[in-house]
């Protein structure tokens, strides 16, 4: 290999390393400034009445409490489990047609989350239950947020991006609260606040 080829390889390698470093720095700055967490600006357009509110379920039971509001929005709820096993589910309902037809965005005290479409007794996971490191486990509060425009919804847990889902089954509907017990006794969750920003 000639000196010219060595020089070309060295310059190419240095150029690639510089590009990788610059890209890494840009990503770090973007994440630090909240690039992955577009929190709504300004006061909410709607705040749920009657909160805080504790909802209880028995084993293998789901409780849905609709609270109103519809359309394109960013919706946020903060909740803390009070009683029951860590194998549970709680979160928010959005674009609900009625208490038996809705989408749910839920977390569990065991560190899992899911996005579900429920129609009567048929539950379709749009994002199946999976672990997410930013979920606070046990009896700690979690903040869930969903931002929907048209058929596309983005999901966040504790201000960290979790998933994006496209589904056009329902494009409007009510929002609400969701709690599920899974087989080992009842679950009680305190919902501290729910608010929405209209797009």
Residue 14, SS3 per DSSP: helix
**Domain range enclosing 95:** 46-198
Q: How far is residue 127 CA from its own chain's centroid?
A: 10
| Residue 40 counted as domain residue | no
Residues 67 and 149 in one domain: yes
What's the number of domains the chain is made of?
2
114-124: per-residue pLDDT in tens?
Answer: 999 999 989 99
Bridge partner list, 173:
none
pLDDT tens by residue, 161-190: 999 999 999 999 999 999 999 877 789 999
Q: Is the dihedral of CA 150, 107, 78, 180 positive or negative?
A: positive
Please tell me the predicted confidence (pLDDT) of residue 34.
Answer: 45
Clarify whether residues 2 and 95 are in a common domain.
no
Q: Is 40 helix (H, G, I), strand (E, B) or coil?
A: coil
CA quadruple 83, 85, 86, 90: dihedral sign: negative
Residue 12 and residue 79 in one domain: no
Residues 82, 137 within the same domain = yes
CA 196 to chain centre: 14
- Same domain membership, residue 28 and residue 78: no
Domain assignment of residue 41, yes or no: no
- What SS3 class is residue 9? helix
């Amino acid at each position: 290999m000639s000196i010219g080829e060595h020089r070309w390889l060295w310059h190419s390698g240095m150029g690639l390393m510089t590009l990788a470093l610059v890209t890494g720095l840009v990503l770090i700055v973007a994440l630090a400034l909240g690039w992955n967490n577009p929190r709504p600006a300004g006061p909410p357009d709607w705040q749920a009445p009657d909160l805080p509110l504790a909802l209880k379920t028995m084993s293998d039971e789901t409780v849905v409490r609709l609270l109103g509001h519809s359309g394109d929005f960013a919706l946020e709820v903060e909740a803390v489990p009070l009683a029951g096993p860590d194998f549970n589910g709680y979160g928010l309902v959005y674009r609900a047609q009625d208490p038996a037809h809705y989408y749910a965005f839920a977390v569990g005290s065991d560190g899992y989350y899911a996005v579900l479409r429920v129609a009567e007794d048929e539950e379709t996971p749009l994002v199946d239950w999976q672990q997410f490191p930013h979920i606070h486990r046990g009896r700690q509060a979690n903040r869930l947020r969903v931002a929907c425009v048209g058929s596309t919804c983005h999901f966040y847990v504790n201000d960290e991006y979790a998933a994006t889902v496209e589904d056009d089954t329902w494009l409007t509907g009510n929002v609400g609260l969701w709690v599920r017990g899974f087989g080992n006794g009842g679950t009680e969750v305190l919902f501290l606040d729910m608010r929405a920003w209209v797009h």
